[in-house]
């Protein structure tokens, strides 16, 4: 990995995120809506806007689903393929401590990836099922808010200093509880 590869990957991610939704946004803006359209959501999600339309939403729903598949599940496939190669590489590490550390790193990353993709699945697949609006809103809240909050917490808990501080605080709390 060199700076040029890093810059190319970052630029590709930004350009894809910028350009891929343009056709869906243009088509959604051309749909017919009532004079007052209510969007029952906590933020302006594409599919929620499409569902508020008076027009036929079949094409827009399919387009949104296809974009979600490209943006979400193609990277998931790449992550899973890369993780399929990791156990073989880790098992080649000679020291037991080295293998444990490598698997620990992988497990925290898998926890983050699992949280992220399960919330996406809830948010996007739930639209295909006749569920209450509250369920749809909660799926998107988990995807948009909870997952980004959990990422730093999960990675921070891997830090030895943080673990030591938490252990110290909890052991002090336990010693205080015994004296009561």
Which whole number is the average pLDDT over 82-89? 84
The top-scoring range by mean pLDDT among 17-31, 123-137, 139-153 is: 17-31
- What is residue 71's DSSP assignment? I
Residue 5, helix vs strand vs coil: helix
pLDDT at 139: 73
Give the closest residue to 59 by CA, choosing from 30, 20, 100, 92.
30
Task: Render pLDDT for 38-83 as a digit per residue (tens, 0 to 9).
Answer: 777 666 677 778 878 888 888 888 888 788 778 877 888 888 888 8
Asked if residue 52 lies in contact with residue 38, where contact means CB atoms within 8 angstroms, the answer is yes
Q: Which residues are CB-neighbours of 124 under 8 A, at least 6 positions away?
A: 47, 65, 68, 72
Helices in 69-146 by DSSP H: which ranges? 74-91, 96-125, 133-141
Task: Render pLDDT for 92-131 as a digit per residue (tens, 0 to 9).
Answer: 888 888 888 887 778 778 888 888 888 777 776 666 666 7
User: Residue 74's CB: how many other CB atoms inside 10 A?
Assistant: 11
Long-range residue pairs from 145-152, CB within 8 A, at least 24 positions apart, any chain: 146/115, 146/119, 147/115, 147/116, 147/119, 150/112, 150/115, 151/112
Asked if residue 28 lies in contact with residue 54, where contact means CB atoms within 8 angstroms, the answer is no
Does an H or E element contain 51, and which? helix 46-51
pTM over cut 0.85: no
Asked if residue 136 lies in contact with residue 123, where contact means CB atoms within 8 angstroms, the answer is yes
Tokens 């959990």 locate to: 150
């Amino acid at each position: 990995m060199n700076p040029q590869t890093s810059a190319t990957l970052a630029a590709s991610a930004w350009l894809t995120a910028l350009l891929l939704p343009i056709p869906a946004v243009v088509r959604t803006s051309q749909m017919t809506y009532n004079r007052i359209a209510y969007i029952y959501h906590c933020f302006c999600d594409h599919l929620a806007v499409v569902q508020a339309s008076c027009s036929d939403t079949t094409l827009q729903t399919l387009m949104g689903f296809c974009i979600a598949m490209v943006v979400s599940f193609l990277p998931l496939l790449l992550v899973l393929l890369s993780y399929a190669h990791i156990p073989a590489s880790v098992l080649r590490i000679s020291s037991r401590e080295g293998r444990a550390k490598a698997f620990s790193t992988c497990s925290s990353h898998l926890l983050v990836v699992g949280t992220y993709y399960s919330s996406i699945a809830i948010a996007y697949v739930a639209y295909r099922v006749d569920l209450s609006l509250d369920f749809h809103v909660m799926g998107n809240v988990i995807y948009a808010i909870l997952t980004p909050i959990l990422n730093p917490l999960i990675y921070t808990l891997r830090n030895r200093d943080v673990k030591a501080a938490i252990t110290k605080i909890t052991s002090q709390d336990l010693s205080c509880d015994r004296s009561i």
